[in-house]
Homo-oligomer: A and B are copies of this chain.
Amino acid sequence: MSITLSVDAMGGDHAPDIVIHGLSKTHIRHPDVRFQLYGIKEVIVPLLKQYPQLDNKSDIIHCSDVVAMDAKPSQIIRRSKETSLWQAVGALLENKADAIISAGNTGALMAIAKLRLRMIDPVDRPAIASLWPTMTGETIVMDMGANTMADPKNLLDFCLMGTEYARIIFDNKKPKIGLLNVGSEETKGHEIIKEADSLFKEYQNIYQYHYHGFVEGNDIAKGIVDVVVTDGFTGNVALKTAEGTAKLIGHYLKSSLTSHPLGKLGAWIAQKPLKAFKEKINPSRVNGGALLGVNGIVVKSHGGTDHIGFAAASELAIDLAKGNILEAISQKIHQHEVIKK
């Protein structure tokens, strides 16, 4: 199957430069994939000329407008028909592409994806699923901020979508699911969490996932489950807190080493493994959140990412298109609806 990726070439703090640069890397690893680049033609053409191989696999679709990174959702819908984001999402509707990627405004991407692609019935709310590096590999954490609130039914939807996502990403038939809470004891947490806990238990045999129970913030990086389910407010704060902590520790390490002559010498000798370490904690490496729950494969890249991060996110979109995530989720979720009735 030949995959076509629809790209919002203008979305992101450093777009379109890092977008085109990133796709040139993606192209090397996925030479069969085609790209549809939505954006301002005059700006994209000279960038694309630097990568003739990528150019061969790409079509530019000119769009006169761009969604600002700080635009409000209400403004976006009103005047978005000419934007690269609106058009790039539209490519999925017309079957011109198999997945869409954007590093632009998250609220706008969600609003446009929901409006144009519509939700998979009966999912009420989409969720952003991210990969989180752990002691043992990677864990899916969702929702990372598509919604600021979630009721028990939403959390169950996230659990089912996360299960399908884990099956594809980790090639694991029966993924282990954890529900994020302030303690692992059954008595912990508020009512929404307790009700979701009951639902997760109730559905684990039908949907073939293994429900581990509550997990705490420090359990995420331990990698004890394949999927950590939480509401978008908590998930977003947790992700950003982890990023901030990683930066702080990098800063501490650097200042400890440079403030001592033996530290400087040791760091100079160990520069190669220290560079590997720096690479390992680079958040770009695991960039890319899948917007699950809409009728289409939509991947959100971090707005401030570099070309490596954009390449990682676009490869995720390609993997999800190849893995047929959409069909897997809608089949499962429909089964959920049937059971509910």
Contacts and interface: CB of A to CB of B under 8 A. Distances in A.
A165 to B, nearest CB: 21
Nearest to A268: B266
Nearest to A240: B217
Given A217-B244, A240-B217, A245-B242, A262 B256 contact: no
B257 A265 contact: no
Interface residues of A, number: 67
Most buried by B among A149, A233, A243, A259: A233
Most buried by B among A185, A244, A281: A244
A122 B15 CA distance: 51
A274 B267 CA distance: 10
Interface string A201-238: 00000000000000011111110000000101110111
Contacts of A70: 185
A248 B217 contact: no
A241 interface: yes
Copies of this protein in the assembly total 2
A31 interface: no
B270 A263 contact: yes
Contacts of A273: 256-257, 259-260, 262-263, 266
Contacts of A188: 148
B148 A190 contact: yes
A276 interface: yes
A249 interface: yes
Contacts of A134: 248
Q: What 5 A-B pairs have minimum CB-CB distances, sorted nearest first?
A: A266-B270, A217-B240, A263-B273, A218-B244, A217-B241
19 contacts: A107-B187, A133-B248, A145-B182, A148-B190, A148-B193, A149-B190, A182-B232, A182-B237, A217-B244, A218-B240, A219-B240, A220-B241, A221-B241, A233-B234, A246-B249, A252-B277, A256-B274, A266-B266, A266-B273
Interface of A: 70, 72-73, 107, 133-135, 145, 148-149, 180, 182, 185, 187-190, 193, 216-222, 230, 232-234, 236-253, 256-257, 259-260, 262-263, 265-274, 276-277, 280-281
Given A241-B242, A252-B280, 8 more contacts: A216-B236, A245-B249, A249-B281, A256-B273, A257-B270, A257-B273, A263-B272, A266-B266
